[in-house]
Amino acid sequence: MKTATFALLAGAALVSAQSPAYGQCGGIGWTGPTSCVSGYTCTYSNDWYSQCVPGGGSGGTTTKATTTATTKTSTTKTTTTKTTTAGSSGGTGLTTTLPASAGSTTLPSAKVISGTFDGGMMKYDRNPSVCQGQTETGEADAMFILESGATIKNVLIGPNQAEGIHCRGTCTVQNVWWMDVCEDAITFKQSSGTSTITGGGAFHASDKIVQFNGRGTVSIKNFYANDYGKLSRSCGNCSGNGGPRNFIIDNVVAVSGGVLCGINTNYGDTCKISNSCQNSGKYCDRYTGNSSGAEPPKIGSGPDGTYCTTSNVRTSC
């Protein structure tokens, strides 16, 4: 009887050591099971996330993901992505492949996050839709609102929210994907300190992906942008505008879009770009910001050695 009981417990332990259907089974920082239940294979999505998807026999091991396509719902625009890396150094961690979703959920209002939220590669969206294109909206029309110090990771954001993520203070954004940016993908409102975006990517942003309304530093690393206006922009005409605001952009691939950063040099803003690719060779736009709400005049483009600097950047993505 003891032998049978031991065998039963051992079998249960083996099952519990396997990830369930559509569960996480790998990625940077992952300490859980790395194999899947019978009928599912641990499939690589990116460096932060591998997922148990249908296929395989008794507990498949990790395989590389193949090319994935996503279609914009409101038009016939289609994005096809492929896996790549940028820069001769620091290339680890960047992928241009939109991960498969583990399912989807909709919410009637923005989800407020304190601490750490791991979405497990679920797709989140707003229902009813609050996307109004480039009409100015606000925090209430975001998908997620992050309290100061919060972390969000492993999330896909759908097209029906208006402003993606709002960070009330410094925050950490890891492996978050915007499938179809509405007004902005993410807005930073910290009064000081450093916020980070690591991994992930954004598609179809007719204007900005990152909006920086606060102060301090935003670091963007291992990020992919496709079909966009600007990767990042310091607010040019906010009430009470000022600075400095600093962008650190490293190991980013940006295609079919505009500059990697727009900064206000009269406020001391800076943008440091390294190990990155923008296929049109557009890196920085420099502006004179104001607090009046007027359109800020552009005073220059490209690296100037002071406010905008580049290292190991290229146009062949």
Instruction: Give domain status of residue 5, yes or no.
Output: no
What was the pLDDT predicted at 4? Answer: 47
**192 and 232 fall within a common domain:** yes
Least confidently predicted of 33-37, 74-78, 226-230, 249-253: 74-78
Q: Are residues 249 and 196 in the same domain?
A: yes
Question: Does 34 share its domain with 84?
Answer: no
Q: What percent of the chain has pLDDT above 70? A: 83
Asked which of 65, 98, 118 is the last residue of a domain, the reply is 65
Answer whether residue 281 is part of any domain: yes
Residue 280 lies in a domain: yes
Residue 116 has pLDDT above 60, yes or no: yes
CA dist., res. 217 & res. 188, Å (int): 10
Strand, coil or helix: 274:
strand
**Are 50 and 137 within one domain?**
no
**Amino acid identity at 307:** Y
- Same domain as 127, residue 31: no
For residue 256, what are the contacts with CB-CB under 8 A and spacing of at least 6?
226, 227, 228, 279
Same domain, 53 and 144: no
Answer yes or no: is pLDDT of 137 > 90: no
In-domain check, residue 9:
no
Give Cβ neighbours of residue 194 (< 8 Å, ≥ 6 apart). Answer: 170, 216, 217, 218, 219
Q: Which of 205, 212, 218, 61 is nearest to 134 (CA)?
A: 205
Same structural domain for residues 48 and 189? Answer: no
26 and 174, same domain (yes or no): no
CA distance 278 to 111: 33
Give mean pLDDT, residues 94-101: 93
Give domain status of residue 107, yes or no: yes
In the prediction, which pLDDT does 60 show?
A: 53
Query: What pLDDT shows up at residue 190?
Result: 98
Model pLDDT for residues 191-209, shown as the tens digit of each residue:
999 999 999 999 999 999 9
pTM confidence score: 0.81
Are residues 153 and 264 both part of a single domain?
yes
Average pLDDT over residues 125-154: 95
What's the CATH number where 186 sits?
2.160.20.10
Last residue of a domain, one of 65, 87, 118: 65
Task: Based on the fold, state whether residues 96 and 215 are members of the same structural domain.
Answer: yes
Task: With a cut of 90, say whether residue 285 has pLDDT above it.
Answer: yes
What is the rounded average pLDDT of the residues 98-107?
96
What is the pLDDT of the chain when averaged over all its residues?
86
Helices (H), 42-192: none
The answer on 111 and 36 residing in a single domain is no
Instruction: Mark whether 128 and 238 lie in a shared domain.
Output: yes
Q: Is residue 14 part of a domain?
A: no
Structural domain boundaries enclosing 41: 20-65
Instruction: Identify the domain boundary among 50, 65, 80.
Output: 65
7 belongs to a structural domain: no
Lowest mean pLDDT among 34-43, 102-111, 158-167, 302-311: 34-43
Please indicate, yes or no, if residue 161 is contained in any of the structural domains. yes
Please state the domain count of the chain: 2
Helix %, strand %, coil % of the chain (to 5): 5, 45, 50
Q: Can you give the pLDDT at residue 62?
A: 47
